[in-house]
Structure 1
Amino acid sequence: MDKTLITILLPTIGAIIGFYLKATIEKRKEYSSEVTRERRELYLKFVTLMVDIWKNYKTSKNQGKNNFTEKLYDFYKKYILYASPRVIKAFGDFMQYTYHRDSQENPKEYFGMITKVMLEMRKDLGLKNKSLGTNGELLMRALITDFDNI
């Protein structure tokens, strides 16, 4: 009778453990998918904002600065819950530079800060970044004629 009980209990216990593990893995996968989807949306908003700002950088250096800062704060409120630590750090570095931008006015450095955030976002989404430059400078190459002219 002990052998019969063991042959019934072991597969049952194994099935329960297997079901629990499968449910846990599925729940994590679902959560990860949801977070990734949210990250993509937020990162797309940031990239769109940066491309728009860069597009008008030379002609309107101080025009719309408050609107720009307001949009960055809106982005900050949302990304803080979803972004990876690397993205948060790169964005923090960019914001610190932005706060002192008037006194430091170095377009090349500013550009590098923006592309560093974008590069970290791409890493966060699992995209390859080989040959995009140290700080992802080549991500926005289509918007400029030459790095020396920025």
Structure 2
Amino acid sequence: MDTTQVITLLTITLPLFGAGIGYLIKSQVEKKKELNNELNKQRREIYQNFVNLIIDIFANTKLKRNTSEQNLKALYEFYKKYVLFASPNVIKAFSDYFQYIYDTQKKEESTFHLSLITKIMYEMRRDIGLNNKGLGENGEMLMRALITDFDKLFEKK
């Protein structure tokens, strides 16, 4: 083979080879994007269930209904569903909350308890790509509508 034949052969095969590699890369990116879209859809649904649960707990507390065992059972049910889909930050925030619940030696400190709950929601919002600017260090503003004397509760000391 002379040089012109080699150049002609390379001119034909290299673009075909490049197109094949490009197609493979594009298909992998599309698969990953499709998986992430499905994952985010699952996360939104599961996270919405958590928010509904927390608001129901607050409503029951304000209405003086004692349902703590039922609430804990619902939190365990949520845990079963979210553990496969949540980001590491959400899992860590939820684990911190459960460790607080398990520690019966701690006195009930409502400010800390509430900040653990809002931290979970804060991380969930971050996980699905929402902006948390202005919601407080741990998302304290997320619960403002449900709490009276909110500013006094989270006053900087």
1:86 alignment partner in structure 2: 89
Taking the aligned partners of 1:76 and 1:39, their CA distance within structure 2 comes to 12
Distance 1:101 1:48 in 2: 26
* Amino acid aligned to 2:20: I
Unaligned runs of 5+ in 1: none
Question: Residue 17 of structure 1 aligns with which residue?
Answer: 21
Q: Secondary structure at the match of 1:126?
A: coil
Q: Radius of gyration: which is bigger?
A: 2
Give the match's secondary structure for 1:14.
Answer: helix
Q: Residue 117 of structure 1: which of 92, 117, 120 is its match?
A: 120
Residues 16-61 of structure 1 show CA distances to partners (whole Å, capped at 9, x for unaligned) of: 001001100000000100111111011000011011111222423x
Q: Report the CA distance between 1:149 and its aligned residue.
A: 6.3
The 1-side partners of 2:148 and 2:92 are apart by 29
Query: Among 124, 141, 145, which residue is 2:148 paired with?
Result: 145
Identity of aligned residues (%): 50
Gaps of at least 5 residues in structure 2 are: none
| Partners of 2:60 and 2:67 within 8 A in 1 | no
Question: Could you say what the CA RMSD is over the residues aligned between the two structures, in angstroms?
Answer: 1.7
CA distance in 1, matches of 2:41, 2:122: 18
Larger deviation, residues 92-101 vs 16-25: 92-101
> Larger relative contact order (C-alpha < 8 A, sep ≥ 6)?
1
The answer to which of 65-74 and 27-36 deviates more is: 65-74
Q: Scaled by the length of structure 1, what TM-score is found?
A: 0.91
The answer to whether the aligner puts 1:104 opposite 2:125 as a matched pair is no
1:45 match? 49
Number of residue equivalences: 148
More deviation, 49-58/69-78: 49-58
- Cα separation, partners in 2 of 1:71 and 1:131, compared to 1, 3 Å: same
